[in-house]
Every structure is written in structure tokens, then in C-alpha cells.
Structure 1
């Protein structure tokens, strides 16, 4: 499920969709969702500040959020406060709404979500917004059935979901990767002399391995240890990593694929799978997961150019829709 594929039919539907845009269920957060031509093209989350934050600091925080939204070329936005306890989030929602209006960005719904219910911050009609709020469980079940990728309980759970495997699974992958190293050595030894022929052999082996992995995950399958290890040693070579990036479509099952590869890859081979996960997550609108994956890539290989580029893209708030915009002449 991609941002651009969604057509939200109601506030309840939007509230149900948001965790799938982020990759986890937000809490104590402001979520900004941007629309263009009736499609969702942007979603971002920020922590709610403490209630006692001074007004000037709150306004500065709101202006920074509005500046990021302004770079997204959206037609309108919806503001959603995910709250709990006594913290309503109303002050930040109002401040961000004002900052966006000053930038001529229309603000649509302003919603509060807590405990499986939602309210409109501005509505005083109890028939529309009863004191107990309106549930959205039915819409959430519908979205969950078609999403194609998991949503986590919170951000910490999302981070843990791509942590390296441990124990017996790690030992099995280390053995499989050692065997894959030997297999790659044999491939190189069998290839006729000359760098062009070797690159060609790597491209052919890599395209087959990437294609097989994508075909397996497209139908809900997984790779065994030997298949995944072979994929990771090939991805360490530029022709294969470039091919894999060019195949990325921004689909839910790709998040599952590259998350699995990242978790099981031998540590020094994790950078490229992390980039592939980051790129796919960014394409699908999961900026939080993309950011975590980029951090993993840079921790493994700080000099990896594509990881540094993706880090800049995420920091600057460049939306995935930028890929579809024609280049300037």
C-alpha cells in the first residue's frame, strides 16, 4: 500500500491509515498528513511538547514543522494529535495550523486520537463529536487486511523489528555467508579474464538473486539462509546494488523483504540492505523506518554515497513524489 494509492473516504478512515503511513502506532505525537490532488503524498510525526512549554518556544516548534510541510507542495493538510492522559495536544495543533495558514497552506481536519477513538478539536456539536469520541476499529481492520506490511506497537518496536538476529539464527547465517563467500570466489575464478567479463558475471548472478528474492516475497514467501546469504554477498558489489535499487517499486512486501535481509545479513554486509530498506520505506511514505534504516547503513559504512544522499533527502523533507516530477530543463 502506497501513499499515492490511498483514497481516504472519512476522518475515521484517515485515522486508521496513519499507523501504516508511519510504520507504527504513534503516541504523544502530532502527525501531519499532506494531500495533493486528493491523494496522500506526505506524512510526518513529531513529539508533542510538554504542556508547560513557553508559548514562544511552542510557536518556534510549530514554525519548524510548517517549514518542512511547505517543501512538500501539498494542496492541504490534516493535523492529528495522538494523545493520552491529560495532554490534549490542542496547543501545538493550533500553533501548527496558524503557521501553515500564514504560509497559505490550507488546513482541513484537526483531529485528536486517544484510546481507539477520535474527536475534532474544533467541533462543538455532540451529535458529530460525542464526548466519548467516535471509534474507528472497523476502518482499522479493513486497512490492516490490505496493507501488505506490518505496523508496530510503537517506534521502539519498529526499531527492534530490524535489529540483527542473534543466537542460533545468527550462527546459521554466519555459516551460510561463509559458504556464499566461497561460491563467489569460484564464480570469479571461473570468469574469463578482464574486468568487463567479471562485471557481467556479477550483474547476471545479482539480477537472478534479486529477482528470485522479489518473486518469493511478492507471494508471501521468505528466503532460506543460503539464498539470503548469496544475495547479501552479491549486493556488496555496485552493479548488483544498483540493479536492486532500480527494481524498487515502493510496495509493502518490499519493506518485508529488505527488513528480513537487513536483520539476517552478516554485520559488515548490512549497509546495502539497509539502504534498500530505507529507499523502499521512503517510497512508501514510512519516513521513520527510512530514517532508522539509513542510520544502520551509515553506522556500517559511513562513506556509502547513496546512504548519505538518502540521509540528506530525509533531513530536507523531500517527498517521494519528487521522483515522479520531471527534471528541470
Structure 2
């Protein structure tokens, strides 16, 4: 699913497509090559990559883009390069060749530079002048329709990354205190001596769940009480967000500490989909969580964003997770799926714990056991 599905936008010209790309990605691209994939006449997917550095071989990233696009079962594509001609042309040519190599029809190949666009496939001076065609995305009906439908295109990717950055100032001071209280609360729940504080950000063992590495820091000695507390915290947080209420500092701190426990993290994962409230909840928890506690909420946000077709948001959330915990295996699993362009629809139902790179389909509810005759 793309961000334009709900808007039902009509793209009838290169200018319309250029106006639509920022809403497909979630931000205005620069120094980028973008491939917009179609099935029939419908846009189904968009993928972006940085332009190769000067002198770098453009073939490997071009092949990767082609592999991602063909995995969407696309039939055709348009390539759009953003930046100066000397960098865009080689990248677009490489992507065109890679797409053709996997059997996709290239409908058009465009370069966008300083408010003008050029087509590499059109040689008619009447419609494709040598000096390029000026365009104003702000004046496009596509942009107006996208904004009316509630779609957002941020100024650049840095603005997107800022949406998952940790909050600072008084919020951080308050969360530091709340997280200390949450650590003491967890210590009491685990039966540690009175006054013991568990530093939630300290390195702890990695658990292995059924089916392979489950991913993430967990505490030793998890029991039913911890899982029950986690289930209650997740349920309360989801209920509060559905009502449009903001979690308190203590609620965020308690939830973020409990999410370091594998059983709690997986319970939250199983109940996370691509709903707006899921994205809002895990964004809030991620931004307010203390350093060292970001991996779980960042991964949950990435999963929700990926299921919603917001791949760029998923990517920046995973960058946040892997910056703090480079070995966090749920983040590594999702990062691999995202980079390979595995369609979210391939996960039919709730997530199953699986080794990285393996996606297992499963039913939403377990089947009842067979009765013995």
C-alpha cells in the first residue's frame, strides 16, 4: 500500500507524477533516484536510493532497486532522478537497464533539477524542450488533493528522522526520573531486595525464543508476574491512545522498561498492525524513552509503519533502533525485509518469531485441537 491509496489521486502527466512522489515517500527527495512502480495503471510502490557518489559504480544500487521493484509484482515503472545532470544521468541509465533486465517496461525516465524536468525518453521539442519543462508542485492538483486527503510531504529526509528523535529539555529530565522509578518498580516485581534499582539501559542477555533468535535485551528471571504487568501496560497504553489521551511520564517509563522483557515485547508486537493509533503510540513511547530503551519501541514503530506502507518512516525508526542497539535482532529482521522490498501483505496475520529473512504466514487465531474419535 502506498500513501496515495486513500487519496485516489489522478496522475496524468510527468508533472503530476513529480508532484506525487513526495507524498509517496513522505518527504521531498533530493540527490536521489526514485522508481515508481505500477501494476496496470495503478501506482503500487515507490523506492528511493541516494545518487551514487561521483566515480562510484551505479550498477549495484540500480540492480538492488530493480530487485525490490520486481518483488512487488509490478508490470512497469517510471524512473525519476533528482539532482545535477552529471550525477543523475548515469544513475538513471543504470536503473533503466536494471529494470529492463528483470522484464519491466520503463514508461519514462525523468531528471528533476532546479524546478524543471527533462525526459530521457522524449525527443519531441514540442513537449520536451531542451531547456526542460518548468513545474510548480505546489500548484498541482495532485498536491492539493494529497493535502486535502491528509497526506504529508516533509521538506527532506532529515525532517522525517526528526519525527523519531528523542525529546530533550524538561521532558528528558522528567523521563529520567520516571524511568528510575520504573526500574525500582520492576526490581520489586522481580523480588529483588528493597531499594534495588535495575538500570534498564545496562547490557543484558539476548533471549532465544521458539523458532530462532527472537531479538533483544531481556532480563534474567522473567516470570508470569512480569508478563502480566506487561500485558496490562500494553493494553492500558493502547486504550489511552484510542481515546486520544497522552500517556503520563510514569506510564511511558514503565512500558519502556517492561518492553526490555522479551515476552512483553512480543506481546506488544503481536498486537501492532498498521493502524494510525499504533504509529502514534510507538512514536510517542520512542521519543520519550530513555537512552538504552529505544530498540523495542523503535522496532514496533517500524513494523507498524511498514504495515501501513510508510517505508520511509519505518527506515528512520530502524536507524534509531540499530544506532542504540546494533545487534537487536527484531530491528535487523525488519531492516532486512525493508531493504529487500518484501511486501507487507506477505505477512498475513500477526508476526511469528522467525530467523532473519524468513517470513512465515500464519492465521490470526490458533485452530482448536482436533477431537479424538
Residue among 117, 136, 141 paired with 2:144: 141
Task: Select the residue among 276, 280, 283 that pairs with 1:259.
Answer: 283
When residues 232 and 26 of structure 1 are mapped into structure 2, their CA distance, relative to the original with a 3 A threshold, is: same
Counterparts in 2 of 1:144-293, with a 5 A limit? Answer: 144-147=147-150, 150-182=152-184, 195-196=223-224, 198-213=226-241, 215-216=242-243, 222-251=246-275, 254-293=278-317
Q: Which residue of 1 aligns with 2:110?
A: 111
Q: Secondary structure at the match of 1:268?
A: coil
What is the TM-score with the length of structure 1 in the denominator? 0.79
Aligned residue for 2:209? none
Structure 1 residues 183 and 44, CA gap change in structure 2 (3 angstroms): same
The answer as to whether partners of 1:3 and 1:39 remain within 8 angstroms in 2 is no
1:59-78 correspondence to structure 2 within 5 Å: 59-78=59-78
For residue 133 of structure 2, give the secondary structure of its aligned residue in structure 1.
Answer: coil
Task: Give the superposition deviation at 1:58.
Answer: 3.7
- Of structures 1 and 2, the one with the larger relative CO (CA 8 A, separation 6+) is 1
CA shift digits 1:63-117 (9 cap, x unpaired):
3432333333222222111224x54723332332232122211222323334455
* SS, match of residue 333 in structure 2: helix
Gaps of 5+ in 2: 192-221, 349-358, 363-373
Distance in 2 separating the partners of 1:163 and 1:142: 29
Larger Rg: 2
The answer to whether the 8 A contact 1:111-1:120 is kept is yes
Q: What secondary structure is seen at the aligned counterpart in 2 of 1:267?
A: coil
SS of residue matched to 2:347: helix
Q: Which moved more, 1:16-25 or 1:271-280?
A: 16-25
Gaps of 5+ in 1: none
Match of 1:297, SS state, is: helix
> What residue number does 1:132 align with?
133
Q: CA deviation at 1:143?
A: 1.5
Question: Cα 1:140–1:310, aligned 2, differ >3 Å: closer, same or farther?
Answer: same
Counterpart in 1 of 2:212?
none
1:20 pairs, out of 17, 20, 23, with: 23
Mapping 1:287-306, distance limit 5 Å:
287-306=311-330
Asked if the contact 1:258–1:276 (Cα under 8 Å) also holds between the matched residues in 2, the reply is yes
Aligned length: 315
Q: Is the 8 A contact 2:62 2:94 kept in 1?
A: yes
Aligned equivalents of 1:104 and 1:205: distance in 2? 50
TM-score by length of 2: 0.71
- Aligned-partner Cα distance in 2 for 1:168–1:275: 25
Q: Measure, in 1, the Cα distance between the counterparts of 2:267 and 2:60.
A: 43
- Alignment partner of 2:80: what SS? strand
